[in-house]
Structures are given as structure tokens and as C-alpha cells.
């Protein structure tokens, strides 16, 4: 009976998407709960409303932390940690006592007597349970920060796609304006007209290539950010003992990746020395780009 209850309890704390214990559990409008990261990755390429992975009911991308489930998950993780620490492998060889103290300076598990020794007396110590929770919270904050960058990059990529289309339309409009102005003001200057158009096309094509290059950079950045997020997500599902071994390297890589975000470029042609053309083109550009 007790085993059946334990299994049922464990099932309720299992994410339907990743099939692991819930991490940062959130609940959607239909009542079902999942890992926050699992849901975010599942609907990244879909516009709202999206469907619940379990019942297929539509919902908007509004996620609320399930406080009760979060506390239950913490209890289960802490119990698993205590079980791991009670094994012979985690007993102090010198004092034969369970290692329940975490040394933050050396990232070591210590028994009470070792923590008071000369080697560790001046170091930062805390109970392993508290250290594990702190490390998990630190990891979840890093994931939240990275996800904001994922969203920002996606918005910039969409803006870049729109800009590329508008820029091609703008170049077509600009060419038409050049021809109109030349034929109205200088009907015999055909050669100058073609040179002017060629110059405009070259400049416009140069900017278009920059837009395409920037777009490719954003696509690559999206791939890198997503892979980094998945790596953090996988780490968040590890036992507390694994988290306490150190996340400094993965944090450094995540933070470094967020510092080098591609930004949209400014699109602008040089002013043209034809009366009426500059103002007309500026008006068109303003209507398109805003």
C-alpha cells in the first residue's frame, strides 16, 4: 500500500513532456502542470494560443508557478539528497560521520568535525540541503535570464525579416521616384539618370547584404541560445549532489553568450540632390518602417 502511494505521488510530480521530476513547475489554464522550460521550448515556434501537451486544450502563453508542486518537488529532492548522503560513500573516512556540511570555497562535502578543522575553519560553510537549494535557485535565475535573450533575439530576427522586405520595397519606390523627378525636371539627362539609379542600386544592395548577414547571425545565435538553454534545463534535472559539484563553467558560458547579441542595423540611403525627391522618399520610408 505504501509503495502504491509512493508511486502515485511520484507520477504526479513527473513532467509529461520530459518524463523527469518537475523543475520549476508551472500550471496552465486547463489545470495541467509541466516544467517551465519544457513548455517554453515546446511552443517556441508557435503563435498563441497553443495546445496543452496532455489534453490539447488551447491556452495562452501565460505561465504561473505552482507553489504547492514546487514545495513538494523540493521535499522529494531533499529526501533523495538525504538518501544519497546516508550511503557509505558519503561518510567521512577520518571521523566515520555523515558529511552534511558543504564548503563553498572548496566545493567539498564535510562532516561536522572536518568543517571545524584548521583546513576549513575560515571557509564559508552551510548545510548541504541549503547549499543545494541555493544552487538550484541560481540555476533557475540563469535559465530565466537566458530565456529573455532567446525571446529578444527572436524579436530582433522577426524585425530584421520585416526590414529586409520593406527595404526592397523602398528601393523599388526610390528608383521610381528618381525616374519621375529626372523626367519632370531634366528630361534630357538620361545618362545621369541611369548613373544615379545604378549608384542607388549599389548602395541599396550593399545594405541588403548587411541585412542578410545580420539575419544569418541572428539565426545562428538562436540555435546557440536554444542549445545553451537545453543544457541548463538538463542540468536542472540532475540530483542535488550533481548540482553541488559546480556550475561555474556552464554559468560563464551562458553569461558570455548573452553579452554578444546581434542587433538590427540602421538602413539609410544618402540624400539625393534632386528637388522634391528627398522629402518624398523620407515620407515613404517613414510610413513603411514605422
Kindly write down the DSSP assignment for every residue of 219-285, as one continuous string: HHHHHHHHHHHHHHHHHHTS-HHHHTT--HHHHHHHHHHHH----PPP--PPPPSSTTHHHHHHHHH
Cell 558529511 belongs to 99
User: What is the structure's pLDDT at 123?
Assistant: 86
Nearest residue to 155 (alpha-carbon basis) of 36, 44, 58: 44
**Burial bucket for residue 211 (CB in 10 Å: 0-12, 13-18, 19+):** buried
55-86 confidence digits (pLDDT tens): 999 888 788 899 999 999 999 999 888 888 88
Q: Which fold has domain 86-123?
A: Double Stranded RNA Binding Domain (3.30.160)
Instruction: Write phi, then psi, for 123 (nearest 5 degrees).
Output: -90, 165
Lowest mean pLDDT among 43-57, 192-206, 209-223, 258-272: 258-272
- Average pLDDT of 5-25? 87
User: What is the structure's pLDDT at 5?
Assistant: 62
pLDDT-derived band at 290 (thresholds 50, 70, 90) equals: low
Rounded-to-integer distance, Cα 1 and Cα 9, Å: 12
230-270 confidence digits (pLDDT tens): 999 999 999 998 888 878 889 999 988 888 777 767 777 66
Same fold, 2-71 and 86-123: no
- Average pLDDT of 279-288? 51
Which residues touch 222 (CB under 8 Å, ≥6 apart)? 150, 153, 154, 157
Lowest mean pLDDT among 15-19, 21-25, 182-186, 238-242: 182-186
pLDDT-derived band at 139 (thresholds 50, 70, 90) equals: very high
Lowest mean pLDDT among 76-85, 130-139, 183-192: 183-192
pLDDT-derived band at 185 (thresholds 50, 70, 90) equals: low
**Burial bucket for residue 176 (CB in 10 Å: 0-12, 13-18, 19+):** exposed
Q: Which fold has domain 2-71?
A: Herpes Virus-1 (3.30.40)
- Average pLDDT of 10-33? 92
Q: Residue 101 pLDDT more than 80?
A: yes
Write out the three cell numbers for 56: 490539447
Q: Residue 275 pLDDT more than 50?
A: no
User: What is the structure's pLDDT at 276?
Assistant: 46
Q: Residue 133 pLDDT more than 50?
A: yes
Domain ranges of the chain: 2-71, 86-123, 131-289
Amino acid at each position: 500500500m505504501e509503495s502504491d502511494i509512493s508511486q502515485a505521488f511520484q507520477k504526479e510530480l513527473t513532467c509529461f513532456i520530459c518524463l523527469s521530476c518537475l523543475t520549476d513547475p508551472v500550471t496552465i489554464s486547463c489545470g495541467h502542470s509541466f516544467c517551465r522550460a519544457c513548455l517554453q521550448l515546446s511552443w517556441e515556434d508557435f503563435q498563441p494560443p497553443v495546445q496543452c501537451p496532455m489534453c490539447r486544450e488551447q491556452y495562452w502563453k501565460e505561465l504561473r508557478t505552482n507553489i504547492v508542486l514546487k514545495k513538494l518537488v523540493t521535499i522529494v529532492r531533499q529526501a533523495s539528497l538525504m538518501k544519497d548522503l546516508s550511503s557509505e560513500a558519503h561518510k567521512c573516512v577520518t571521523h566515520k560521520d555523515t558529511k552534511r556540511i558543504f564548503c563553498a570555497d572548496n566545493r567539498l562535502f564535510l562532516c561536522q568535525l572536518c568543517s571545524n578543522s584548521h583546513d576549513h575553519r575560515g571557509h564559508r560553510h552551510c548545510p548541504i540541503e541549503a547549499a543545494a537549494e541555493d544552487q538550484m535557485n541560481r540555476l533557475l535565475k540563469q535559465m530565466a535570464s537566458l530565456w529573455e535573450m532567446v525571446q529578444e533575439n527572436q524579436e530582433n530576427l522577426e524585425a530584421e525579416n520585416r526590414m529586409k522586405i520593406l527595404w526592397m520595397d523602398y528601393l523599388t519606390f526610390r528608383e521610381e521616384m528618381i525616374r519621375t523627378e529626372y523626367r519632370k525636371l531634366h528630361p534630357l539627362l538620361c545618362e545621369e539618370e541611369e548613373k544615379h539609379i545604378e549608384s542607388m542600386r549599389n548602395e541599396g544592395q550593399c545594405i541588403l547584404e548587411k541585412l542578410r548577414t545580420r539575419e544569418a547571425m541572428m539565426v545562428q545565435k538562436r540555435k546557440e541560445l536554444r542549445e545553451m538553454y537545453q543544457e541548463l534545463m538538463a542540468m536542472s534535472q540532475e540530483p542535488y549532489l550533481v548540482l553541488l559539484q559546480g556550475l561555474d563553467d556552464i554559468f560563464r558560458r551562458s553569461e558570455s553568450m548573452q553579452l554578444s547579441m546581434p542587433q538590427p542595423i540602421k538602413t539609410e540611403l544618402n540624400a539625393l540632390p534632386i528637388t522634391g525627391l528627398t522629402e518624398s522618399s523620407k515620407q515613404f520610408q517613414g510610413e513603411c518602417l514605422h
